Amino acid sequence: MSESATMYDVLLVGAGPAGTACALALRDSGLRVALVDKAQFPRDKICGDAIPSPTLKALARLNPAYATEVLALTAAHRAEVAHSRLVAPAGAEVHISWKAPAFNSPRLHFDDALLQLVRRHTSTEILENWPVQTVEATPAHVALRSSRPELAPLTARLVIGCDGANSVVGRQLVPWPLDRRRHCAAVRVYYTGVQHAPETTSDFYFLRRHLAGYCWVFPVGNGVYNVGFGMLSSDIARDQVDLKQVLRQLLSEHPGLAPRFREARPLGKIQGFGLPLGGSARPLTGPRALLCGDAAALIDPMQGHGIDKAVQSGMLAAEHAKRCFQQNNFSPAALHLYTDEVQRRIGRPLRQRYRLMRLLAVRPWLVDALLLLARVPWLERAFVKAIG
Ligand SMILES: Cc1cc2nc3c(=O)[nH]c(=O)nc-3n(C[C@H](O)[C@H](O)[C@H](O)COP(=O)(O)OP(=O)(O)OC[C@H]3O[C@@H](n4cnc5c(N)ncnc54)[C@H](O)[C@@H]3O)c2cc1C
């Protein structure tokens, strides 16, 4: 290791939901922690901006004040969502009311709120504009080097990769081949002036042609809507799908969408990003390394939600890190217990949801039938439980 390297106990790479939750959960650990991100916050993250209800519940378990403060910090940039409108491939609509409170908030603001909690409540050193280029592990340490040569390397006894879908930590310390059947790609763009769009309802459109995916219109507050479309990467490759083109076409031609977007105005360009789906056997640990959130491929294959899983896995990684330091044991066997825990708590249900998604993906008639059945009140409750 370089003599000039700054030494920490734990280096968290990535200050999204996984990295910030992990930093909050390490608060009273007594460990010297740095949270490193290539971006300067507030920063955008291409996303649907739907914050699943388990996200705040998980933060509140750490400290009830965290949930209250996130709500206060995002108050001006939020839409409370009580309902969803699901539009079947054949056009039938079903309206679902959610039991648990959820909200949508642009990641520009939501992720910044999480980082503000870290600043307020922890002694974590936050290093922004710190793009990690290489991650190197020895038996005793791990070292990060930046693509900005003027930045001195950082070393630690443990690195936690929270650096998202294209994780550098994952690629270099826990490599795993890309399986396009367990990966989605999606595009999104913000719009204003969308018609028939109550600020409390998120819309999902399922399409006969692209079933393993959906188009969404989510209110994010202040009359702005997050509009997007995503589908399985294996289907994109097989059918040579241009996602941006499909989204443009849907907004101008789909019988349910076109009238709503006639007067609407985009607020920027359509942008895309990857979604590594959960339910695979991806290893989550490597030499002196744990992975969380998208770096660990934990996105719900049914809904495309990953923010809640990022927070939950970040908290599990923090607990595991504390144990490793208490026992001074960073052996592969000790680290592997983290994989077992994540698989048990998060991975197993995601595996079932992956199988359900594959089943529905080739049976449009089943999606039509399920959405029709969901109109029956007592079946709606079962439906909400199954997909929520
Ligand atoms: C189009 C789209 C729509 C989605 N919609 C939803 C939704 O509505 N609801 C939902 O719950 N989930 C949604 N997801 C998934 C969700 O965005 C992710 O699951 C979530 O952001 C994962 O959080 P994370 O902390 O693991 O990673 P991220 O949020 O990706 O954070 C990773 C952080 O690491 C930093 N980083 C990356 N590389 C480096 C590097 N080399 N050096 C230093 N820092 C680095 C990045 O700057 C970033 O801040 C969507 C995803 C996409 C692509």
Question: CA distances (Å), 360 to each of 78, 93, 231, 301, 367, in order?
Answer: 32, 17, 13, 12, 6
Report CA(326)–ligand 1 centroid distance (Å). 30
- What average pLDDT does this structure show over 60-76? 97
Q: How far is CA 77 from the centre of its chain?
A: 19
Which of the four pLDDT bands, split at 50, 70 and 90, describes residue 211? confident
Name the residue of 38, 78, 132 whose CB sits within 8 Å of the most ligand 1 atoms, as the mutation to test its pocket: 38
Task: Give pLDDT tens digits for 256-311.
Answer: 999 999 999 999 999 999 999 998 989 999 999 999 999 999 999 988 999 999 99
Q: Which amino acid is at 364?
A: P
Ligand 1, residue 43: give the atom nearest the CA: 49
In the numeric block, the tokens 């370089």 are attached to 2
At 98 the pLDDT is 82
Q: Report whether 344 contacts 311 (CB < 8 A).
A: no
At 385 the pLDDT is 67
Task: Give pLDDT tens digits for 80-93.
Answer: 999 989 898 888 88
Phi-psi region of 34 (alpha: psi -120 to 50; beta: other; left: phi over 0): beta
Domains of the chain: 6-79+104-178+277-359 (3.50.50.60), 180-275+360-387 (3.30.9.10)
Task: Give pLDDT tens digits for 117-174.
Answer: 999 999 999 999 999 999 999 999 999 999 999 999 999 999 999 999 999 999 999 9
Residue of 103, 111, 154, 141 whose CA lies nearest to 14:
111
Measure the CA–CA gap between 362 and 355, rounded to whole angstroms.
12
At 351 the pLDDT is 92
- Comparing 3-17, 88-102, 213-227, 340-354, the range with the smallest average pLDDT is 88-102
45 lines ligand 1 (CB under 6 A): yes
Q: Report whether 20 contacts 114 (CB < 8 A).
A: yes
Measure the CA–CA gap between 333 and 243, rounded to whole angstroms.
42
Report CA(334)–ligand 1 centroid distance (Å). 27
The DSSP letter of residue 152 is: P
Which residues, 6+ apart, have CB-to-CB distance to 327 below 8 Å?
A: 334
The DSSP letter of residue 209 is: S
18 lines ligand 1 (CB under 6 A): yes
Report CA(4)–ligand 1 centroid distance (Å). 31
